[in-house]
Structures are given as structure tokens and as C-alpha cells.
Amino acid sequence: MCFLICQWRAAYYSRHWENIPGEQRQLAAQLGMRGWHFFRFIEWPWLRRQIPPVAALIFMLCFASFATVLSLGGGPQATTIELAIYQALSYDYDPARAAMLALIQMVCCLGLVLLSQRLSKAIAPGTTLLQGWRDPDDRLHSRICDTVLIVLALLLLLPPLLAVIVDGLNRQLPEVLAQPVLWQALWTSLRIALAAGVLCVVLTMMLLWSSRELRARQKMLAGQALEMSGMLILAMPGIVLATGFFLLLNNTIGLPQSADVIVIFTNALMAIPYALKVLENPMRDITARYSMLCQSLGIEGWSRLKVVELRALKRPLAQALAFACVLSIGDFGVVALFGNDDFRTLPFYLYQQIGSYRSQDGAVTALILLLLCFLLFTVIENYRGEMLKLTDITWLYHHLPMRFSLTVERGEQVAILGPSGAGKSTLLNLIAGFLTPASGSLTIDGVDHTTTPPSRRPVSMLFQENNLFSHLTVAQNIGLGLNPGLKLNAAQQEKMHAITRQMGIDNLMARLPGELSGGQRQRVALARCLVREQPILLLDEPFSALDPALRQEMLTLVSTSCQQQKMTLLMVSHSVEDAARIATRSVVVADGRIAWQGKTNELLSGKASASALLGITG
């Protein structure tokens, strides 16, 4: 049990460490705060608010332990309440005793949840959140201490995993893999886990959304009670919950032909407390940061969910879905009631193998279950989706074809490099819609935009020059990004002023572009792109004429802005060093084709096959 809890807590706390604003880290570095002082004054306040609810969740998880105790044989001295409930229902058929035990468990867990809610304290999230910054002055002794702690944690986590892997690679492996019942159990586990995971995330978002709306209407007690109801699900034994659904359906509409519905719904409910802990604080921070802005802009309902929550909570939602799916795929308590030869999951099949003393077969099944959980969690948590996809997009230049195929994930920052005349700007112009391809397809966020006019594409672009209208003021140039007729309402004007303050140009609004420096003009052009709030930003060497220091400042500003607005970035550059500062992935264009794509550091080291095209030698 300790092994399972450590993994969940590590993933949970690491996400909250990453939520510490980069500005606080920069301020601490400026003040020389490191080691114990940095942990005490910066990290500890962010982690402290999570300790009571996480401790309560872990206690309830151990308190309701079922599969581990049952697999190890149980016994009078090792019987947990949930195992006693299972025995009362399955062997003794004593519903009264099971109900009494369930009531005891609910009272204990309810008291702990109330205590954790009282001890938990919220932190104001602030108005900005610069993520990804790390102190470059990382001293040797700090790295040594971190390495020692990581090694100690690995000594706890790796031995059980290695034991499963080593025992699973036995001589029975080919025979077990050839059994149809194994693949039937695997398919049953997958469909139950995915369906339960999606349902769990949907129910959790509905719960948090309703709680937030109640708090906004000053109904604090009702909002807190609704939020707490999600945690109380863990206090209800899954076996009792499944039995309740079984009796309810049996006495009303009748039992379904398959137990899938009962198992999926029960697993989804049982995973809500974990999804709630993952989404609760991010949802609260989003509300504190953007609630008044959404009200001023009239963004509410489905529009707010689509524009704000689903975009800003992309990573927590993926993590909550991954947790829910893994918990559901490994669940045994509910399936233990309904499992049979026609309906079995991998955990139930593993229990049958161990119960019939087929330990080697069980070791193979355990290995498959471990790999399946790892793959499921990794794929779901790291999946970002395709934002931009070019499939054989062809442009005829003097009857010579330039053909591009490229896929860019959501939120990715990509540098486009290559010699002069290779087709880099042509590629950006095709994406922006300034050139109409002769053939091929171009999709943005899953929607076909091959022939969409530039004004209707979800794309903003900074050109090499002439980014501003010289006869219009700064305010008018930026305002064009909101309304082509410059008829801005109060909400649009407030949005424009917020962006200009972020860019540091709010005192230049009445000036003409000719009265600005080169760096100020590029800030104005960037502000116009940001105020449009399009998901893709294209840069066609807009900073090449700036001096090196100012160019690096603008690159940092662009990278930070893209992270804050969750934008996908494609930047044309002749400098690999500039590309390395802003993009982890690079694309090399040569002779109207994409000659290479991969990690920017590999290209910079001279080890990539396309390094020679850029004059880089290893």
C-alpha cells in the first residue's frame, strides 16, 4: 500500500511544485534565498495547503483497503472493514451486518474529511504565472542532496516493479499470451477503464463547477457541502455502492445483460475523490484569476467552459483522467461481486490464477497489467493533440513544386530553420492563408482550413517588416486586432489595455509607429497578435533587425506570452541559437521540402544529419 501511495503523492505534489509562479522563484534568486530558506518561505506554503486533504485521502484509501488484504489471504487479525463487508455479502449474506460496517466506515471518513477541510488553507494565486523558470545558480550540494533523495525513493519504488518484471518473464509467457481469455480480460479492462475515466472527469467538473457557482452566489455552506460530497464517495465502500445499484436496478427496470454499466458507473464514482484532489485547487485558482475578467467580457456557460476551463486546465484534466483510468483498470473490489467466466477483468483473472495456484501464469498477467497501467497513464497524461497538420501541401513556384508535410502538437513551440530561399517563409504563408496550395490539406485543431481566407483562420502572424500601419497610432494598430472598424466596446478596450500593460507599452498608445524604437514597434505588433487570442502564432523573422540584447528580450517575451496563453508557436529564424532559446523542436527546410525535424539541441550539437545544411559541424 505504501508503494502505491508514494507514486500518487509524488505525481500530485510535483504538479503543485510546478504551480509556484516563476516570478516568486526569480525574486527568491535575486534575494539569495536557497536551500532551507527557499523551501520554508516559497515551497512550503504551497505544499502545506495540500497536506490535510491528501492525508485524509490516503487515510481513507488505507482504511478501505480491500484487494491487497484479500490477495494476501486476509485473516481475522488482518481483516479491514471493507473486506468484512465483502465477507458479509458474499459468504454470510448478512446485509444488516454489512450496512452497520459501512455506516461505521462512513462516520470515520466523514469526520476526517471535515477536519481536513477546516485545516486546509488557500493561497491567492496572483495575476501572473510565469512557469518553467529555474535558478541558473544551481549549486553542487543542492544537486547532490536532490540526487540522494531521488535514489532513496527509487530504492523503495523499484524493487516491487523489478520483481513483477522478473517474475513475469518466465517460461509460461508464450503460453499465457496465446490464451484468448487473457485478451478478453484485457479488452474488458480497457473499455471499463476508459469509460469510467471519462465519466469520472465529467462528473468531477460538474461538481466543481456547481460548487463554484454556489460560492459566487455567497452560498458558501452549500458549495462546501457539495464539494465535500465528492470526498464522501470514498467513505462509501465500493462493494456496498455496487450492491446498491444491483438492488436498485433489480427492483425497478431490471438488470442489464452485462455488468459493464454497474462496474463503469461504480468505478467512476469511486475515482471522483482522486480527480477532485487533482482539479480542485487548479479550478479554484482559475476562478480567482479570471472570474471578474469573464464577467466583464460576458463569457459564461458553455463558452466559458470551452474558452477558459478546458484550455487552462488541460494538463490537470489529463492527469485526472489518467488517475481515474488507472484506478478503474486496477479495481478488484466491485468486479469481485460480478465477475464470472463471461465477465472478467485483468485483476479478477489474476485473482483466479493465484487462487488456483497458477503462480507463473499469474506473474505474466501481473506483468501485462503493470505495462498496461504504465502505458495508459503515460499516453493520457502526455497527450496534447494535434493543433496543426499539413499533409502534402503543395505550392508551385515557377512550375517547381514545394511540398510540405508537418504535424505540430497543441502548445508546442517549433523553430523553422534552413538556408535562404529554401521555402521557410512560403511554409508560413501557406499556414497563414496568404498562399493557396495547388494540392494537399491543412487542418487546424481538427478543422480543415486548406482554402480558408487569412482573416478567418485561427492564426496570427508577425512579418519580417511592415507589421504596423505607419499612419495609425499604437492604440489604433492594436485595436484593429479586435475590430476592423475600430469600434471597440468597453470589454474590448479593457482587454487591449491589459495586453499593453503586459507588453509595457501602455504609455505609448497615442504615438505613431515612426515615433517608436524598433523594439517598441515589435512589442506593439506582438500585442496586436496577442489581443486576437488565436491559438497559433507565426513569426517570420520579426526580430532579425534588432540588436542581440533586445532580440533575446523579445524572444523571452514571446515564449512567456505563448506559455501564458497556451499558444502554439512556429518561428522562422536563421539563428540556431535563437531557436534553442525558444523552441525544443526544430524543422529544417531545404529545396522546398522538410529535410529534417527533431530536437533543437541535437541540431545545435552538429550530430544531426541536417546540421551541415546550417553550417554546423560537430
At 558 the pLDDT is: 81
Per-residue pLDDT of 236-262, as tens digits, reads 666 667 767 766 776 677 666 667 778
CATH of the domain at 286: 1.10.3720.10
439-456: average pLDDT: 87
* Final residue before a domain boundary, out of 348, 382, 416: 382
Given a cut of 70, whether residue 71 has pLDDT beyond it is no
Dihedral sign for Cα atoms in the order 462, 419, 579, 459: positive
Per-residue pLDDT of 461-481, as tens digits, reads 887 766 788 888 989 888 888
Does residue 186 lie within any of the structural domains?
yes
Pairing assessment for the beta strands 439-444 and 386-397 based on DSSP bridges = antiparallel
Pairing assessment for the beta strands 568-572 and 413-417 based on DSSP bridges = parallel
How far apart are alpha carbons 79 and 12 in whole angstroms? 29
* In a shared domain, residues 436 and 370: no
- 3-class DSSP assignment, residue 387: strand
* In a shared domain, residues 303 and 429: no
Contact (CB, 8 A) for 332 and 193: no
Percent share of the chain, pLDDT over 90: 2
Does residue 526 lie within any of the structural domains?
yes
* Final residue before a domain boundary, out of 363, 382, 401: 382
424-436: average pLDDT: 89
CATH of the domain at 540: 3.40.50.300
392-416: average pLDDT: 86
* Residue linked to cell 462512513: 106
Does residue 41 lie within any of the structural domains?
no
Q: Output the nine-digit C-alpha cell for 284.
A: 479554484
Beta bridge partners of 459: 536
Given a cut of 60, whether residue 100 has pLDDT beyond it is yes
Beta bridge partners of 593: 590
Q: Output the nine-digit C-alpha cell for 470.
A: 505607419
- 3-class DSSP assignment, residue 517: coil
Of the candidates 502, 437, 439, 514, the one whose C-alpha atom is nearest the C-alpha of residue 473 is 514
Residues with Cβ < 8 Å from 106, sequence gap 6 or more? Answer: 232, 235, 236
Between the alpha carbon of residue 460 and those of residues 387, 440, 584, the distances in Å are: 14, 22, 21
Between the alpha carbon of residue 49 and those of residues 108, 121, 281, 319, 327, the distances in Å are: 22, 5, 10, 20, 25
Burial of 97 (C-beta count, 10 Å sphere; 0-12/13-18/19+): middle
* In a shared domain, residues 435 and 307: no
How far apart are alpha carbons 42 and 418 in whole angstroms? 43
Does residue 105 lie within any of the structural domains?
no
At 202 the pLDDT is: 92
Give the torsion through C-alpha atoms of 17, 21, 26, 32, to 10 deg: -50
- 3-class DSSP assignment, residue 585: strand
* In a shared domain, residues 449 and 584: yes
Does residue 114 lie within any of the structural domains?
no
461 lies in which domain range? 388-614
* In a shared domain, residues 515 and 546: yes
Q: What are phi and psi of 123, to 5 degrees?
A: -120, 135
The CA angle 177-178-184, to the nearest 5 degrees, is 80
Does residue 37 lie within any of the structural domains?
no
- 3-class DSSP assignment, residue 248: helix
* Final residue before a domain boundary, out of 382, 407, 432: 382
Contact (CB, 8 A) for 54 and 334: no
* In a shared domain, residues 231 and 304: yes
Of the candidates 508, 569, 518, the one whose C-alpha atom is nearest the C-alpha of residue 548 is 518
At 396 the pLDDT is: 87
* Phi-psi category of residue 504: left, alpha or beta, with phi > 0 → left and psi -120 to 50 → alpha: left
Per-residue pLDDT of 365-389, as tens digits, reads 888 888 888 888 777 766 656 788 8
Buried b (16+ CB within 10 A) or exposed e, 11-31: ebbebbeebbbbebbeebbee
At 235 the pLDDT is: 65
* In a shared domain, residues 454 and 557: yes
501-524: average pLDDT: 84
Report which secondary-structure segment, H or E, holds 537: strand 536-540
Number of domain units in the chain? 2
* In a shared domain, residues 605 and 495: yes
At 54 the pLDDT is: 72
* In a shared domain, residues 394 and 378: no
Given a cut of 90, whether residue 199 has pLDDT beyond it is yes
How far apart are alpha carbons 431 and 355 in whole angstroms? 60
Does residue 378 lie within any of the structural domains?
yes
Contact (CB, 8 A) for 242 and 263: yes
Least confident of 108-117, 179-188, 393-402, 462-471: 108-117
Given a cut of 50, whether residue 568 has pLDDT beyond it is yes
How far apart are alpha carbons 497 and 506 in whole angstroms? 7
* In a shared domain, residues 446 and 374: no
Confidence of residue 22 (pLDDT cuts 50, 70, 90): low
More reliable by pLDDT, 81 or 401 = 401
Per-residue pLDDT of 476-509, as tens digits, reads 888 888 888 888 888 888 888 888 887 788 888 8
Q: What are phi and psi of 54, to 5 degrees?
A: -70, -40
More reliable by pLDDT, 545 or 365 = 365
Q: Output the nine-digit C-alpha cell for 481.
A: 486586432
Residues with Cβ < 8 Å from 95, sequence gap 6 or more? Answer: 88, 89
Range ranked top by mean pLDDT from 8-17, 91-100, 532-541, 552-561: 532-541
Of the candidates 170, 188, 159, the one whose C-alpha atom is nearest the C-alpha of residue 359 is 170
How far apart are alpha carbons 602 and 75 in whole angstroms? 58
Q: Output the nine-digit C-alpha cell for 79.
A: 481483516
* In a shared domain, residues 459 and 340: no
How far apart are alpha carbons 474 and 520 in whole angstroms? 10
* In a shared domain, residues 359 and 289: yes
Contact (CB, 8 A) for 594 and 586: no
DSSP 106-133: HHHHHHHHHHHHHH-------S----S-
pTM equals 0.59
Least confident of 57-61, 123-127, 213-217, 288-292: 123-127
Does residue 35 lie within any of the structural domains?
no
More reliable by pLDDT, 575 or 128 = 575
Residues with Cβ < 8 Å from 475, sequence gap 6 or more? Answer: 496, 509, 510
